Amino acid sequence: MPRASLAILVIDENRIRASIIEAGLREAGHDNVALVHDVTGIARRIAEINPDVIVIDLENPNRDMLENMFQLSRAVKRPIAMFVDRSDQASIEAAVEAGVSAYVVDGLKQERVKPILDMAISRFNAFARLARELEEARSELADRKLVERAKGILMKSRGMTEEAAYALLRKTAMNQNRKIAEIAQSLVTAAGLLEPGDDA
């Protein structure tokens, strides 16, 4: 069920700056804003608040602080806009690698908060869609490899042609109301167990 307004979590140890972000968000029509000023136990707080978007503002982050935030962004699977006062190329690359949707150096101004947030959300959605498509393609490829191995096992053990082996897999899958890849997996596993030696 879609929410009427986005739940936004602002993480900032500096209370004055956090209130500037909050004001910018409220001005842009976002009323559901939570502020967190202490990053200890932040993963638990995120789980409790369950925000749609996270805004992280770090004044002058050291490497450890950035690394912690990047680990967080990998884990939470939500759009994250991160503001830092200054940065280097390595940190920017690490932010991209970690899936931070918007990494903004030198520039937290109230009027910039909304467009950056919008960009973070659309980037996150595009990235999530690509990741999903990639996962589906990988899964399809893995399934195909399994089916190829299962066909090979049947061809070798039963002296079948490739077409006959595939037809048998397909028929078994239909009879058991399962996917061909599942039948193939069972066959490959069983064949591994039956192989002599301990290298199965």
Query: Mind giving me the DSSP string for 181-194?
Result: HHHHHHHHHHHHHH
pLDDT at 109: 64
Lowest mean pLDDT among 2-11, 156-165, 175-184: 2-11
Question: Between 13 and 173, where is the model more confident?
Answer: 173
Distances in whole angstroms, Cα of residue 10 to Cα of each of 36, 65, 87: 6, 16, 20
* Residue 23 confidence (pLDDT): 84
Condensed to tens digits (0 to 9), the pLDDT of residues 9-68 reads: 888 888 888 888 888 888 878 888 888 887 777 778 888 888 888 888 877 666 677 777
- Do the Cβ atoms of 21 and 55 come closer than 8 Å? yes
Q: Average of pLDDT values for 84-94?
A: 74
Beta carbons of 42 and 16 less than 8 angstroms apart:
no
pLDDT at 147: 92
How far apart are the C-alpha atoms of 173 and 50, rounded to whole Å? 41
Is the per-residue pLDDT at 76 higher than 60? yes
192 vs 124 pLDDT, higher one: 192
The residue that leads in pLDDT, 95 or 152, is: 152
Q: Report DSSP state, residue 197.
A: S
Report percent pLDDT > 70 for the chain.
Answer: 85
Residue the block writes with tokens 């202490």: 38
> What mean pLDDT is predicted for residues 171-189?
90
Q: Is the pLDDT of residue 73 over 50?
A: yes
Domains, the chain, with CATH or none: 8-108 (3.40.50.2300), 135-194 (1.10.10.10)
d(CA 143, CA 163): 17
